[in-house]
Every structure is written in structure tokens, then in C-alpha cells.
A and B are shown apart, each in its own frame.
Chain A
Amino acid sequence: MAVLEFTKPLQDRFLELTKEWKSKTRHLSNVAQISLVFPYQMIIGMGPSVVPLILKELEKEPDHWFWALEAITGENPVTGIEAGDVEASAKAWIRWGKQNGFTPK
């Protein structure tokens, strides 16, 4: 089985893809359209090792990372009252990350 090797450190690659994703999707409203662009799919393909990096990004700036986080982890900590509230959803994921050891408490 082929092993994917990153030519750059994980964090650099993640930040590069994040920048590209944000520049291509800031004007979009449909989360499916936002999530189906290539850099976002590449980030999902990087797997659980990017979860701490995504959570760190969410702490800096709320954005539509929820699809990627759910796809990678199989979890969804956003409650009904928080659904659709991007800032509250970001906080729910940050809290989940702390509870599950992805970020320092």
C-alpha cells in the first residue's frame, strides 16, 4: 500500500491549504459548495492529525470547519440550540477538543 508522504511539515501544508480554501470560499453560502473544494477535501484526507490544527484555527477565527471535523472524527458535539450559530458551534468543538485531549485543557 502506498504511503502518502508530505513534502512539507504537516502544519505548513495545513496552513497553505487553509489559506487557499478560505480565499476560494469566503463569498459562498452553501456549506456543501464550501466543503467540496479541493483544498478542504485535502485537509479532510490528512486525517486525525490535523484535528488539533483545525481546533486552533477555530479559536482564532470561527469558520466552516464543522463538516471536516465531523468527517474526520465521526463526532458532532453541536447541540440543537447551537446549530446554525457559527460562533457557538466553534465553541462547542473547542470544548470537545479539550475534553477529548486534542487541545490542552
Chain B
Amino acid sequence: MNLRDLFPRLTDENCEITSPRTIKYNCIAWTAGAMDRWWQPGVHWPVNSSRNDHGIGNLVEAFLALGYEECENGTLEDGFEKVAFYGSGMMYTHAARQISDGRWTSKLGQLEDIVHATVDALSGGDYGEVLQYMRREIAERV
């Protein structure tokens, strides 16, 4: 099964594979900048959490703890890095991080990392829709 079977809105033009497959980390870890664990509430998570809380609110709490704040949209903003959280119903399904050119990077479960042109490229199907954006000031490099 290739990625376009899983994500009908992905095309050769709006998506680029950027890593090999691995089960070592998931999209939440990748969005937070980590590649050594599969982030999961109550198992490996930035805040104390029940293992049974898979709601979008728990994901927001986790990223608040990482220094992010809620924001309105995924428009590229100077001085900020943004993340997008997808959900279906009240359950979070996926997270993506914006890169400096305005595109987005995602880890697809235990498949590859990709860069995709828009958040909509992964919407629909099992990931549902983007329910929340957050942003964090980019630390100035010395």
C-alpha cells in the first residue's frame, strides 16, 4: 500500500518523503523535536496524564508544557514555529510541524517522515481535520 492509498489528497507535487520507515518515534514526538520514543499519554508524555486520555485537550496541555501557545491558524509568521493537531471526534490523530518555508513536516505513524505543502494534504480519512494550531517563539541563535 503506498501513501496515496492512505491519503487521497497527497500527490507527487505536494509531498516529499524525507526519512526511512521506523517505529522508534511517532508524529507527536517528531512534532516536538524528539526521535527516540513513541509519545503516548501516560506512557511517555510531557505532562502527567491518564493513559486513557487521548483527547485533543491532552495534546494541547502537552505542548503548552513545551512552551507553545494556542493560535488561530497555520499561516507562516516571522519569529514563530507552528504546529497543527489533527483529530477525529475528540480524539487526536496526528500532529505536524511547520518548517521555515511554510510547508509542513509529518511522521506518518510507523511509516516515513514527509514534507507536505499544506496541512490539508493529510486531512480527511483516518486523520480527520486540523482542530488546533499552536505556536512557539523561535529562540534567537547566538
Q: Residues of A with Cβ closer than 8 Å to B?
A: 23, 25-34, 62-63, 83-87
Task: Identify B109's interface contact among A27, A32, A87, CB under 8 A.
Answer: A27
B44 and A84 contacting across the interface, CB-CB below 8 Å: yes
Whether A33 lies near B43 (C-beta < 8 A) is: no
Please determine whether B107 and A29 come into contact, CB atoms closer than 8 angstroms: yes
Complex: A25 Cα to B111 Cα, angstroms? 10
Majority SS at the chain A contact face: loop
Interface stretch, picked from B34-42, B64-72, B74-82, B132-140, is: B34-42
Q: Does B100 belong to the interface (CB within 8 Å)?
A: no
CB nearest neighbor in B for A84? B44
Total number of A-B contacts with CB less than 8 angstroms? Answer: 63
Interface size class of B (residues with CB under 8 A): 20 to 34
Q: Return the chain A residue nearest B40 by Cβ.
A: A31
Given A33-B91, A83-B43, A83-B44, answer yes or no on A62-B23 (Cβ-Cβ < 8 Å). yes
Q: Shortest 4 CB-CB distances between A and B: which pairs?
A: A84-B44, A84-B37, A29-B26, A32-B54
A83: B residues at CB distance < 8 A: 43-44
Asked if B91 contacts A32 (CB within 8 A), the reply is yes
For B40, B44, B54, the residue with the greatest tally of chain A CB atoms inside 10 Å of its CB is B40
Q: Given the interface contacts A27-B6, A28-B109, A30-B93, does A87 sit within 8 Å of B24 by beta carbon?
A: yes
